[in-house]
Amino acid sequence: MPMVFRAAPPLSAALAAWEPANRALTSLVSVATLPGWWTERHLLFVLCALCSSVVAALTWGAILRHRMRQQTDILRRTMEEEAARERRRAFVERERGRVLEAINSSMPLEQVLGMITSFISEQMNGLCCWCVPHNGGILGCNKTRGVDLPVEGMPHTRRDIHSSSGEQLGIFILDGVHPPGDPLAGSELLDLGVSLAALAIDNRRLYEDLIHRSEYDQLTEIPNRFLLECRISSSLTSAQRHQQRFALIYIDLDRFKRINDQYGHRIGDVFLQKVARRLTDRLRSRDTLARVGGDEFIALIPIVRDRSEAEEIARRLENCFESPFVIDDLILQGSASVGVAIYPEDGGDAHELKLVADAAMYSSKQKVEGYHRHEREFF
């Protein structure tokens, strides 16, 4: 089939067809670009709204940053203060542990109380502290002022020291009034010092009582066998080092059982107490009199020149029975048998010396009993 070609419409005809649309578009653009009162008013309103929003956002942002900075500073200060309190509490606990170790050690009570008052003084910004136990003495920190106690009329804090049973043990004094604020710097810290002082005094009193009970006879209040053995050991070491002599004098009361049987144990106990007092008065301060049995005593003379000096001391002990013992309405006449042993002539250790002294005492007792038996037979 033959192809048919149509001629294109002329260009002028196409332009003529688009002319109305072109005029409408041109008029629209001209209207949009030309300023008018309605358009400017809306644009100004939009610009003002945008500026107000920006200013409000910037202001609110600044307020938020300020509040966050304040809260951050408060939180940081709180954390720093809490950390400081924790460090201080840890330090106080360490010092408290150190003081407790000192309380449970053999450190003298004066040093322990000095540690406590110095510790409290350091934690109380240098305020001086004192502890005044009832047994006498003023102990404590006093580095800044030349007085023993706060001046009369000056402000000070005073707390009584009580034991766990409620007994008053002393007084704890702070020179001034504790600062307010952190309780660790005030009343709580002062209470800690008072409780530590009470524990130190009470424990040391209990410790000394136990030591006394373990070393001294409860009836006569003179050394017992344990303390005598310790002192004999010391005398033996000293005598060996310095080539000296010491003596043991064994003392056994005669017919003590008769006193108990006839007058009762209370009279017998008082009789033993009076005998111990008399024997102690006849000895020197460096000598030791110990009760080693019911009616048996041993005197340790740590330094003697020779046997004659030891025998002279023994005679002095025997003579203390010359005067009768007055107990209530009773007048009792006592006597004792005495034996002497000298180091190193009679033995090289405590056991040998006591055996020799006991044998000498027993020999003396037989003579006394033989004399009394002969006296009874004669009459």
Q: Which amino acids are annotated catalytic?
A: 295
Distance (Å, whole) CA 316 – CA 65: 99
Domain with residue 146: its CATH number is 3.30.450.40
How much is the pLDDT for 94?
A: 86
pLDDT tens, residue by residue, 212-221: 999 999 999 9
Q: What is the pLDDT of residue 139?
A: 57
In a shared domain, residues 313 and 245: yes
Are residues 330 and 290 located together in one domain of the fold?
Answer: yes
Task: Look up the domain containing 156 and give its range.
Answer: 91-213
Distance CA 170, CA 132 (A): 5
In a domain, 340, yes or no: yes
Overall domain count for the chain? 2
> Does residue 276 sit in helix, strand or coil?
helix
Give the pLDDT of residue 179.
54
Note whether 246 and 269 are same-domain residues: yes
Compute the C-alpha angle 92/94/95, nearest 5°.
65
Structure tokens at 150: 């706060």
Residues 254/264, Cβ–Cβ less than 8 Å: no
Clarify whether residues 339 and 258 are in a common domain.
Answer: yes
Domain end position, chosen among 213, 238, 261? 213
- Would you state the pLDDT for residue 319? 93
Domain final residue, candidates 187, 213, 239? 213
Q: How many Cβ atoms sit within 10 Å of the Cβ of residue 285?
A: 5
**Domain presence at residue 5:** no
Q: Do 184 and 273 share a domain, yes or no?
A: no
Q: Is residue 137 part of a domain?
A: yes
Within this chain, do residues 171 and 241 fall inside the same structural domain, yes or no?
Answer: no
Is residue 114 in a domain? yes
Long-range contacts of 156-165 (CB under 8 A, 24+ apart): 157/190, 159/190, 159/191, 159/194, 161/131, 161/133, 161/194, 161/197, 161/198, 161/201, 162/198, 163/198, 163/201, 163/202, 164/198, 164/202
DSSP state of 223: B
Same domain, 346 and 284: yes
pLDDT in tens, 270-285: 999 999 999 999 999 9
Look at residue 311 and tell me if it is in a domain: yes
Report yes or no: 121 and 174 within 8 Å, Cβ to Cβ.
no
Q: Do 150 and 266 have their domain in common?
A: no
Can you list the alpha helix ranges (DSSP code H) found in the chain? 11-33, 37-103, 109-123, 187-215, 225-242, 256-263, 265-281, 307-319, 350-378
Q: Tell me, yes or no, whether 66 lies in a domain.
A: no
CA distance 295 to 335: 11
Q: What are the residue ranges in the chain where pLDDT is below 50?
A: 1, 4-5, 28, 31-32, 142-147, 150-151, 153-154, 182-183, 371-379
Give me the pLDDT at residue 145, please.
42
Statement to judge: residues 193 and 239 lie in one domain: no
Same domain? 252 vs 275: yes
- Distances in Å between the Cα of 94 and the Cα atoms of 55, 91, 118, 120, 158 are 57, 5, 15, 13, 25
Cis amide leading into 344 (omega within 30): yes
| Domain co-membership, 198 together with 321 | no
**Which residue type occupies 79?**
M
Residue 185's alpha-carbon distances to 89, 120, 150, in angstroms, are 10, 9, 20
In a domain, 256, yes or no: yes
Which are the contacts of 233, defined by CB distance < 8 A and separation ≥ 6? Answer: 350
In this structure, is residue 286 part of a structural domain? yes
230 plus 372 within the same structural domain: yes
Identify the pLDDT of residue 137.
58
Q: Which of the listed residues 213, 234, 269 is the one where a domain comes to its end?
A: 213
- pLDDT, one tens digit per residue, over 28-83 is 455 445 555 556 777 788 888 888 888 888 888 889 888 888 888 898 888 888 88
What CATH number has the domain bearing residue 297? 3.30.70.270
- Can you give the pLDDT at residue 24? 57
